Amino acid sequence: MAAPIQRRSLWGEGLLLLLIGVFCVFPFYWMVTTSLKTQVVALESPPVWWFTPTLANYWEVLFVDKVGPALINSIIVAVCTTALAVGLGTPAAYALARFEFRGKTDLWFWFITNRFVSPVVLAFPVFLISRELGLRDTHLALILMYLTFTLPIVIWICTDQFRSIPRELDEAAMLEGASQWRIFRSICLPLAMPGVAVSSILSFIFSWNELLFAYILAPKAAKTAPAMAVTFMEGYDVPYGKIMATSTLIVVPVLIFALLASKHLVRGLTMGAVK
């Protein structure tokens, strides 16, 4: 008597899982298929599900519409800001995890509070300042501004990671006469590599996805891919295939990284509020 009920509920559960999966994945399916349509096919009403796919949109956006250079800008900005955040953030995280000093809690709160500051607050003053300093439309301006969210992420996740390394290791090294910097560099940092990797992936994802700073600070030469995608919408004739090809090119690297760090993505998005 119990078995058939069990089986039926399993089927129901499977169906529910499928529904959840389709809910999450369908927009991506539609994005990729639309990117393989010609404009004529994309503008069929009602939309068609079966058609002859073409890579023409990708060819066109990459080499004619300058999405290629925009993607390169995105890579430069995301990689540099991540490297900088790790370089600056890991020593700070080590200090927060190991040293006792006055004002530590306040400092830590300040780092975390950055998670809540909207970029729109900083964008205009930075726009004016970067104009004065001749940094407008440069990679450097974006790299520096992206530190406002990458640095707190690195500090949070790495502080956690350093705390999990036994202090006895530090103490033993200290008895050997190693300097604090040496202990950090040669003992703790290598052991904290998992945390460094996760926080690097997360700061890469967040910088890659950023739009507002990029849109306001980098209108031409340093334009990143998301800002590029926005400009496609500005004409009268909306090129669906090209927009979706650009979107696919933007989203695919992020999704790969997100799947690699899937266990930690939620932790990063909540600044560690959830393990």
Partner 1 sequence: MSFRVPRRTIAAFLGPAVAALAIVGIAPLLYAVWKSLHYFNLTKLAQQRFVGLENYAAVLSDPVFWQAMGRTGLLFIIAVPIQISLGLLIALVLHRPGLTFWKTLTRLSLVLPMATTYAVVGLLAQVMLNQKYGVINQMLGWVGVDAINFIGDPTNAFIAVVMWDIWQWTPFVALVLLAGLATVPPEIEEAAKLETKSNWTVLRHVQLPFLIPSLVAVLILRTADTLKLFDMPFTMTRGGPGSATEFIAVLIERVGNRQFDIGMAAAQSIIMLAITIILARLYIRLFYREVR
Q: Does 31 bind partner 1 (CB under 8 A)?
A: yes
Picking from 247, 235, 267, the residue whose alpha carbon sits closest to that of residue 70 is 247
Q: Does 269 bind partner 1 (CB under 8 A)?
A: yes
Residues 56-75 that bind partner 1 (CB under 8 A): none
CA distance 140 to 126: 12
Picking from 5, 272, 251, the residue whose alpha carbon sits closest to that of residue 112 is 272
Q: Does 188 bind partner 1 (CB under 8 A)?
A: no
Residues 142-181 that bind partner 1 (CB under 8 A): 144-145, 147-148, 151-152, 155, 167, 170, 174, 180-181
Supply 174's token pair: 């200290």
Supply 83's token pair: 């490297």
- Taking the least distance from each CB to partner 1, the nearer of 113 and 186 is 113
Q: How far is the CB of 85 from partner 1 (least distance, A)?
A: 9
Residues 191-230 that bind partner 1 (CB under 8 A): 205, 208-209, 211-212, 216, 226-227, 229-230
Region of 51-59, 60-68, 123-131, 187-195 interacting with partner 1 (CB under 8 A): 123-131
- Is the preceding omega at residue 46 within 30 degrees of 0, hence cis? yes
Q: Does 94 bind partner 1 (CB under 8 A)?
A: yes
Per the CB < 8 A criterion, the answer to whether 240 and 37 are in contact is yes
* Binding-site member from 4, 233, 235, 236 for partner 1 (CB under 8 A): 233
CA distance 88 to 95: 12
- Taking the least distance from each CB to partner 1, the nearer of 39 and 54 is 39
Size of the site for partner 1 (CB under 8 A): 98
Q: How far is the CB of 59 from partner 1 (least distance, A)?
A: 20
Region of 54-62, 64-72, 188-196, 264-272 interacting with partner 1 (CB under 8 A): 264-272
Q: How far is the CB of 78 from partner 1 (least distance, A)?
A: 12
Q: Does 40 bind partner 1 (CB under 8 A)?
A: no
Crossing angle of helices 193-209 and 240-260, in 10° steps, is: 170
CA distance 49 to 189: 51
* Binding-site member from 79, 123, 178, 187 for partner 1 (CB under 8 A): 123
CA distance 48 to 30: 11
Q: Does 117 bind partner 1 (CB under 8 A)?
A: yes
CA distance 192 to 67: 37
CA distance 192 to 55: 43
Q: Does 80 bind partner 1 (CB under 8 A)?
A: no
